[in-house]
Amino acid sequence: MKATKLKTPARTLSALLLTLAPVLAFAQEEPTLSAGDTAWMITATALVLLMTIPGLSLFYAGLVRAKNVLSVLMQCFAITGMISVIWAIYGYSLAFTDGASLNAYIGGLEKAFLSGVTVDALSGSIPESVFMTFQMTFAIITPALIVGAFAERMKFSAMLIFMALWVTLVYIPIAHWVWGGGWVGAMGALDFAGGTVVHINAGVAALMAALVLGRRKGYPTTAMPPHNLGYTVIGASLLWVGWFGFNAGSELAADGTAGMAMTVTQLATAAAALTWMFAEWINHGKASVLGIATGAVAGLVAITPASGTAGPMGALVIGFAGAFFAFIAATKVKVWLGYDDSLDVWGVHGIAGIVGAILTGVFADASLGGSGLAEGMTIAGQVWIQFLSVLATLIYGGIMSLIILLFLKVTIGVRVTEEQETEGLDLALHDERGYIL
Amino acid sequence: MKLIAAIIKPFKLDDVREALADIGVSGITVIEVKGFGRQKGHTELYRGAEYVVDFLPKIKVEIAVDDPLVDQVIEAITNAARTGKIGDGKIFVFDVDQVIRIRTGETGPDAL
C-alpha cells in the first residue's frame, strides 16, 4: 500500500474503516457453496476422467499394433490409479497450498493426506473435495499423454516409476507455478486449462522419452500401421466431448465464462479438424480419418490455454493454427528428423500447445473478441509473458524429464528386450492377448 | 484322386461355391490367405508415414475330387472366378495318396 499523508478527518475515517475491515472483508469473502457450480464441477470432473479412461486410452490403443493394444490400456489405467493416490497423499498439497518462502516454486504440505479437505471445506463456491478431485484428473491425464511417445517398447515397471517421479518433480511444480500461486501465474501468464501445465509439459517429456528410449525395432522402414482406427476415432470423440469438462470446468463455476469456454472449445476443434482434413487432401490427395481425428485433438490442445479468454472467432484462428503447425510437425518434421515419437505426442500436444499458449496472449484482447487483457497490458506484452511461460515449461520440464529418464535408464533400464518387443508387450509383459479370435 | 487348390479373389468365393455345387461338388475347404503375383499392392498413409502394402487378401479354395471330375472342376472354378483383370488367381492340381473319412473310416474315392 502506498503511504499517503492524510488530513485528520480522513485519517480518523481511515482508522475506523481499518478497524472494521476484517469484519467487512470476512462478511464479503466468506465463501458459500453454490449448488449450480458444484453440480457442474462434479460433472466436469467425471468428464475429464473420461478423457483418460477410456478416451485417451482408446485413442492410443487403436494407433499401436494389435500385439500391444492391452499394454497401452494397462499403462493408462495404471497411471490413473497411481496418480490418484499420489495426488491425495502429497500432490494436491504441494501444487495448491502456500509454500511460504518457496511459494513461487512449490506449495507446502499442510494438506498432505488431504488434511483439512473435509466434507464441508470449500474452495470458492464448490467443495474443496471437488476442486481437489477435478485437479486430480488433470494430474492423471498429463502423464498418460506421455505414454504415446514410448508406446510398444517401455518396461512396465520403469514406466510406473517414471510416472510417479515425473508427476512429483515436474507436473506438481509446474501446476503450482501456473495455478497454485507460483511465479508463472504471478507474472500474469494466461493458461486457463493447461496449455503449459498439461500439453507443453507432456509434449516435451514425450520428446525426451522418445529420444532416451530410442526408436522401435524396425522403425521407420517396417510398416507399423494403426491396428484399429475405429478405437482411435472413438477415443478422439470421447476426448472432444470430455474436453468440455477440461476447458469449461476450469472456470470452476457454472457461468458465462464456462459457457464461452465450451463454445470456443467446439469452434477451435472444428476448425482444426477441417484444417488437417484439407491439409491432407491437398498434400496427399486424400483426407484420412486418422488425420481429421488428429486435427481435432490438435485444436483441443491449442484452445486449452485460451479457453477462458478467447472469443469465438479467435477460437477459429487458434484451431486452424494449432492444427496447421501440428500437421507440419507430425507429418513432415518428425519424418525428416527421424525420431520415433510413436503416437505424435510432441508433434500434437507439444507443438499445438505452444501455438495455443502464444496465441492466447493475442486473442485475449478485447479488440479481437477476447475477454480483455489485464489493465495496462498490450498484446505484445502478454505474448511476451506467454512466451516466457512456454520457455519455462520447456526448459524445466525438458531437463527434469531427461534426468529422470536417464536415471532410470542406467539403474533399472527403461526398454524391453528385443524378444519382448517382437513378441508384443501384451504377451511379454502382461501374459494376455488383446484379441482371441 | 486329386486335390485342387485355387487361389481366387475373395469376392468371387460365392460364385465359385455355386459353380461347384452345380456340378455336384459339395465338399470344400476355404482358407484366407494373402499374396501377390503380377497384381500390384497399394499405398497407405498414416500421419505422414507411408507404407506400400504388397500383399493382397485372397481366398484359397481346396477340393478333393476323383480323377474323372478334375477337368469339370477346373472349368467351373475358372469360369466363376475369372474377371479378366490381373489378380484373378491360379489353380494347382495335386495328387492325393490317401483320403479317409474320419466318422466312418471309409477310404479312397468312397471317402470323397
> Which residues of chain B are within 8 Å of residue A331 when distances are taken between CB atoms?
47-48
Does residue B48 belong to the interface with chain A, where contact is any CB pair within 8 Å? yes
Rounded to a whole number, what is the distance in Å from the CA of A141 to chain B's nearest CA?
Answer: 23
Q: What is the structure's pLDDT at B38?
A: 86
Spell out the residues 6+ positions from residue A169 whose beta carbon is closer than 8 angstroms to its own: A400, A404
Does residue A281 belong to the interface with chain B, where contact is any CB pair within 8 Å? no
Task: With respect to residue A132, please indicate whether it lies within any of the assigned structural domains.
Answer: yes
Write out residues 191-250 of A within 8 Å (CB-CB) of B.
220, 223-226
Per residue in A56-100, pLDDT tens? 999 999 999 999 999 999 999 999 999 999 999 999 999 999 999
CATH number, position A235: 1.10.3430.10
Q: pLDDT under 70 in chain A at which residues? A: 1-29
Query: Using CA atoms, how far apart are residues A295 and A20, in angstroms rounded to an integer?
Result: 56
Spell out the residues 6+ positions from residue A398 whose beta carbon is closer than 8 angstroms to its own: A204, A205, A207, A208
Domain that residue A296 falls in = 33-430
> Which residues of chain A are within 8 Å of residue B34 when distances are taken between CB atoms?
none
Domain that residue B49 falls in = 2-111
> Which residues of chain A are within 8 Å of residue B49 when distances are taken between CB atoms?
220, 224-225, 335
- Residue A114 is which amino acid? L
Per-residue pLDDT of chain B (112 residues; tens, 9 = 90+): 999 999 999 999 999 999 999 999 989 999 999 999 888 888 898 988 888 888 999 999 999 999 999 999 999 999 999 999 999 999 999 999 999 999 999 999 999 9
Which residue from A minimizes the CA distance to B47?
Answer: A331
Cβ distance of B47 and A294 shorter than 8 Å: yes
CATH number, position B31: 3.30.70.120
Query: A381-398: buried (b, 16+ CB within 10 Å) or exposed (e) per residue?
Result: ebbebbeebbebbbebbb
Q: What is the SS3 assignment for B91?
A: strand
Q: Supply the ipTM of this predicted assembly.
A: 0.81
Contact A86/A169 with Cβ under 8 angstroms?
no
Total domains in the fold of chain B:
1
Residue A333, phi then psi, degrees to nearest 5:
-65, -45
Q: What is the SS3 assignment for B51?
A: strand
- Residue B74 is which amino acid? I
Per residue in A131-146, pLDDT tens? 999 999 999 999 999 9
C-alpha cell at A15: 482508522
Does residue A152 belong to the interface with chain B, where contact is any CB pair within 8 Å? no
Q: What is the pTM of this model?
A: 0.90
Cβ distance of A286 and B53 shorter than 8 Å: no
Task: With respect to residue A136, please indicate whether it lies within any of the assigned structural domains.
Answer: yes
Cβ distance of A331 and B47 shorter than 8 Å: yes
Per residue in A346-391, pLDDT tens? 999 999 999 999 999 999 999 999 999 999 999 999 999 999 999 9
Query: Using CA atoms, how far apart are residues A150 and A414, in angstroms rounded to an integer?
Result: 10
Total domains in the fold of chain A:
1
Q: What is the structure's pLDDT at B54?
A: 87
Task: With respect to residue A16, please indicate whether it lies within any of the assigned structural domains.
Answer: no
Spell out the residues 6+ positions from residue A64 whose beta carbon is closer than 8 angstroms to its own: A71, A72, A151, A152, A226, A227, A342, A343
CA proximity to A137, closest of A39, A253, A48? A48
Task: With respect to residue A270, please indicate whether it lies within any of the assigned structural domains.
Answer: yes
Angle at A205 between CA A202 and CA A207, to 5 degrees: 110
Task: With respect to residue A130, please indicate whether it lies within any of the assigned structural domains.
Answer: yes
Cβ distance of A330 and B47 shorter than 8 Å: yes
